[in-house]
């Protein structure tokens, strides 16, 4: 999880650099490439997964809602800083385009100091000691055996569950309507007015 987030941050920094240099290079294609790279980044689902897994159970719902909060906050800050009086002027717009790399840079610097998610360590790596160490680092000293037991139960449940590939998921009739719903909601999220809000 953590390595994927770090790689995603490198992608965002590259995209920001390409867009920031587009005016100097006099290339609108660089803006298109940079925006495409931002679009294929996995920051939203990765944030949900990592933050949800490192949070204690009583704070998990709150922690998962931070993604939506910061997404909306980022859109608001982008709208405000894009005003002509700030970074929306003809001379400063490359800085505005490159500003998406700043949060990625902050995360790239700070994330190595955080442990890998405990469920990932226990379920995928089989590292029980690493899991306990990560839990103590994240949640402090104390008795966390109940959380470890929950992860072990989830691991036992996962052993009996067949994991489908993307192609198998698309072909499975039982999941077709859920898949249609997710695709439609994701494709039309820009029409819901979140940018205006």
pLDDT of 130-178, one tens digit each? 888 888 888 777 777 777 777 777 777 777 677 777 788 778 888 888 8
Tokens at residue 6, please?
A: 């770090």
pLDDT at position 193: 64
The residue count of the chain comes to 197
pLDDT at position 123: 78
Per-residue pLDDT band for 44 (boundaries 50, 70, 90) equals low
Q: Is the pLDDT of residue 27 over 60?
A: yes
Per-residue pLDDT band for 111 (boundaries 50, 70, 90) equals confident
- Other Cβ atoms less than 10 A from the Cβ of 7: the count is 14
Please give the Cα distance from 64 to 51 (Å, whole number): 7
Tokens at residue 24, please?
A: 């100097």
pLDDT at position 21: 87
Please give the Cα distance from 68 to 73 (Å, whole number): 8
Maximum distance among all alpha carbons in the chain? 59
- Burial string for 85-115 (b: 16+ CB within 10 Å, else e) reads eebeeeeebbebbbbbbeebeebbeeeeeeb
Higher-confidence residue of 46 and 84: namely 84
Instruction: Give the least confident one: 14-23, 104-113, 159-168.
Output: 159-168
What pTM, to 2 d.p., does this model score?
A: 0.67
């Amino acid at each position: 999880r953590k390595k994927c987030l770090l790689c995603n941050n490198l992608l965002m920094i590259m995209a920001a650099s390409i867009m920031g240099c587009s005016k100097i290079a006099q290339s609108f294609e660089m803006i298109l490439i940079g925006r495409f790279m931002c679009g294929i980044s996995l920051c939203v689902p990765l944030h949900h997964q990592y933050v949800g897994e490192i949070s204690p159970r009583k704070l998990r719902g709150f922690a998962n809602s931070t993604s939506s909060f910061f997404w909306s906050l980022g859109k608001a800050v982008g709208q405000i800083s894009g005003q002509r009086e700030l970074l929306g002027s003809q001379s400063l717009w490359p800085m505005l385009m490159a500003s998406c790399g700043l949060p990625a840079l902050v995360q790239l610097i700070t994330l190595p100091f955080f442990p890998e998610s405990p469920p990932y360590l226990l379920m995928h790596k089989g590292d029980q000691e690493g899991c306990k160490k990560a839990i103590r680092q994240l949640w402090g000293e104390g008795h966390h055996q109940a959380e470890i037991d929950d992860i072990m139960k989830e691991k036992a449940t996962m052993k009996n569950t067949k994991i489908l590939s993307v192609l198998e998921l698309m072909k499975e009739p039982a999941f077709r309507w859920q898949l249609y719903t997710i695709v439609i909601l994701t494709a039309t999220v820009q029409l819901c007015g979140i940018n205006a809000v």
